[in-house]
A and B are shown apart, each in its own frame.
Chain A
Amino acid sequence: MTDIQFKVAKTVREAASLMAAAKGKGRILAGGTDLLVQMKAGMVTPGTIIDVKKIAEMVSITETKGSYRIGAATPAAVIGEHKKLRKAWPGVVEAINLIGSTQVQGRASAGGNLCNASPAADSVPALVAAGAIVTIQGAKTRRQVPVEKFNSGPGKTTLKAGEIVVSLTLPARPKTSGDAYLRLIPRTEMDIAVVGVGVSLTMKGDTCVSARVGLGAVAPTVLLVEAAAKALTGSKLDAKALDAAANACSAACRPIDDKRGTIRYRTKIAGVLLRRATAIAADRAKGISRPAHSQQGH
């Protein structure tokens, strides 16, 4: 094994300068549930491993005027235990809590899920639907990008050399809003999504006044499906609107064929999950509680 360095960064700036100093061979360590597996498989060989879990800003959740900032390295279990966040963004939290087992939840972070850049990453469609903003720290400056613009392909992000993700911000939204995430996997636990759909809605009475749809595991990156959102917006979520939105999701798919699902199957399921997730999000927007499957064990 080559000479690997292990560093514990105390501030976001220090982490970013350590990344810059590592000249492309630096790796941020959040929960390590992707990084360690990849190191063991010989897929990545970092020069410097930079642990960011001692940086308060990166492992905490704060609320300002209804907007939530989730530190990029906050463990999923901590996110699931945050009652107010769970109430405000049940879909985002259920998506994050679907990642792996209890043991994996103790470590895995939303930042790691995003930066690992798997097209099937469970938290990302829900974050896209939520309109999450990614805060990025470089050697000198901070910048922000919408989460749907962050990844550029399987395993690829738009981070520039020396940049790290600090946090994810969920915007404030009206009380009559709700979100949901559903994934299809061949088992009930511990598998990779064949399709994942995140839906976030704001209702006014029975009318949907705004919508966002995130679609995962059916293209090289998680997609924001604007055509589906458009079909839902302004409707009473009637059959016609749902058909149009489901068709828009299926039309957006550019999936692969693999052992988990064929192209035809994934394309069809994208529409099915859109309908179901929309129904759950709409109920939640109306204050009807719909417990997350993933919270049964928490």
Chain B
Amino acid sequence: MSLRERAREGRLPNWAVRTLALGRREVLRVVRRPKNTVLPPIVTNALYVTVFGVILGARIGDTAGVPYLQFVIPGLIALGTITQSFQNASFTLFHGRWEEYVESVVASPMGHREQVTAYLLASAVRGLAVGLVIFGLGLVFSEIPVRRPLVAVAALVLVVTLFGSLGIAGGLWADDFDQLTVFNQFLIQPLVFFGGVFYPVSDLPGLVETVSYLNPMVYIVSGVRFGLLGQAEVSPVVSLGVLAGASVVAVAAVLALMARGYGLRD
């Protein structure tokens, strides 16, 4: 009997019931508190889009062969999705450890795979929802094509998997909320900003361009941009390949940490 048939009959296997229960709790936490979760990035991105689309966009002119807003939207989607999926997983684990309510998950029959799946699902929902809203904001001011939808979806799903996993690791590791802020503000944000969100990396002078390709964010931004615009600096095979490789490593690492009870058990 397929999972869906069983679900219809209300006979989901226990592991699915447990995973969905945790995933549900995680998503509800976000939905119930939009002011603290999804509204801030929406406001920030509305400002970005207004400034780049209406005020600066006209002066900058075409970039990499497309209007500037079209060029920048995929980058903003990548940035928003990365930040939100990371924040969701890292906050929930850090806060749950801090206030110890994560114990009701840890001291339950949930296995480590189920827990990781639930946290990743919730991070994906939040990351992708914000990405979608940013896409919508772009549509308000310009036409945003989706030339390679499969590439776009694959890139974004890998992004939320990768950064949801990094968020879980961060949330398990941090002893103090500032450590997570540091990680986000001083590592993720700068890397994304220098990862070709606002300018084509190929416009940079030789050495700087070469160094830029060491920045993993370049592949992410490029992957999303290719999905929407049908063109980007890095070929989609390479960007999706790098992203997929990094995601696999990150998920495996997080599964290992959870199985050991890292940060959760004495």
A complexed with B: no
